[in-house]
């Protein structure tokens, strides 16, 4: 579909059809309410409880919720974030306790040479699979994340918890809700 042709000197300025100013007013009002400037106290309390259930600071939870417009349904942890580097490594007991308390899906992306099936056997993990190769092209990262996540999870409801700098690309490649550094999530 091609762009409409305008007369000479037309700069593509604002629409002049009837109702533009009212639609702009309604849009701005809806946008302000989405950003939480006038949320009822009950809604704020409910969101604070949800942030606690997820193990997130409220500010992080509210930011993710405002940017995606949906609740967090799960977390994608890199094996680096869990400090699982070699086969046979044990998860830090504090990390395992924190994961067990999270009331959302807990998915682990296992970097080579880890075997996802062995990580999946951990009590605090719901699902595990192969992580995208470090610095792989976006198409390969996207395909690896799609295989790992499957069709069940809405991508904009999953938050990445990562440690390595190259893992930050997964947010855009997988169209995830956002990213939190592992030390922030696990408390230092």
> Stretch 123-135: mean pLDDT, rounded?
90
Give residue 129's domain range.
41-186
Say if CB 104 and CB 127 are below 8 A apart. Answer: no
Quote the CA–CA distance of 140 and 109 in Å, as a whole number. Answer: 14
Give residue 107's pLDDT: 93
Residue 177, pLDDT score: 92
Is 28 within the bounds of a domain?
no
For the cut 80, the answer to whether the pLDDT of residue 111 exceeds it is yes
> DSSP states of 22-77 as a string?
HHHHHHHHHHHHHTTTT--HHHHHHHHHHHHHHT--HHHHHHHHHHHSS---EEEE
| Within a domain: 129 | yes
Instruction: Convert the pLDDT of each residue in 84-110 to its tens digit.
Output: 888 778 888 999 899 999 999 999 999
Over range 155-179, report the average pLDDT. 93
- DSSP assignment of 75-96 equals EEEETTTTT--STTPPPPHHHH
Residues 159, 180 contacting (CB under 8 angstroms) = yes
Cα(162)–Cα(144) distance, rounded to whole angstroms? 16
User: What beta strand segments (E) does the chain contain?
Assistant: 74-78, 105-110, 127-130, 158-162, 178-181
Find the length of the chain. Answer: 188
Find the CATH number of the domain harbouring 74: 3.40.50
Burial class (CB in 10 A: 0-12, 13-18, 19+), 143: middle
* Furthest-apart CA atoms within the chain: distance in Å: 71
Closest CA to 116 of 106, 128, 125: 128
Contact partners, residue 186, CB within 8 Å, separation at least 6: 81, 94, 95, 98
Considering the chain, what is the average pLDDT of its residues?
Answer: 86
Q: Is residue 146 a part of any domain in this protein?
A: yes
Is 64 within the bounds of a domain?
Answer: yes
Q: How far apart are the first and last CA of the chain?
A: 52
* Within-domain flag for 22: no
Q: How many domains does the chain have?
A: 1
Write down the pLDDT at residue 63.
87
Question: Would you say residue 106 lies in a domain?
Answer: yes
pLDDT tens string 15-61: 667 888 888 888 888 777 666 556 788 988 999 999 999 999 898 89
Answer yes or no: is 30 within a domain. Answer: no
pLDDT of residue 34: 63
Indicate whether 121 belongs to any domain. Answer: yes
């Amino acid at each position: 579909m091609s762009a409409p042709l305008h007369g000479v000197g037309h700069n593509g300025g604002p629409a002049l059809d009837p109702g533009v100013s009212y639609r702009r007013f309604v849009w701005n009002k809806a946008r302000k309410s989405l950003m939480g400037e006038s949320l009822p106290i009950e809604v704020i309390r409910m969101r604070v409880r949800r942030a606690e259930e997820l193990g997130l600071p409220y500010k992080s939870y509210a930011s993710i919720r405002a940017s995606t417009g949906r609740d967090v349904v799960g977390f994608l942890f890199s094996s680096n974030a869990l400090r699982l580097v070699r086969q046979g490594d044990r998860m830090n007991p504090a990390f395992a306790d924190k994961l067990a308390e999270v009331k959302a899906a807990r998915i682990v992306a296992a970097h080579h040479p880890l075997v996802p099936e062995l990580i999946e056997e951990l009590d605090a993990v719901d699902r595990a699979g192969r992580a995208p190769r470090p610095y792989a092209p976006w198409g390969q990262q996207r395909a690896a994340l799609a295989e790992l996540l499957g069709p069940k999870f809405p991508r904009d409801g999953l938050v990445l918890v990562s440690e390595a700098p190259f893992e930050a690309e997964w947010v855009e490649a997988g169209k995830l809700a956002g990213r939190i550094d592992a030390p922030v999530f696990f408390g230092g």
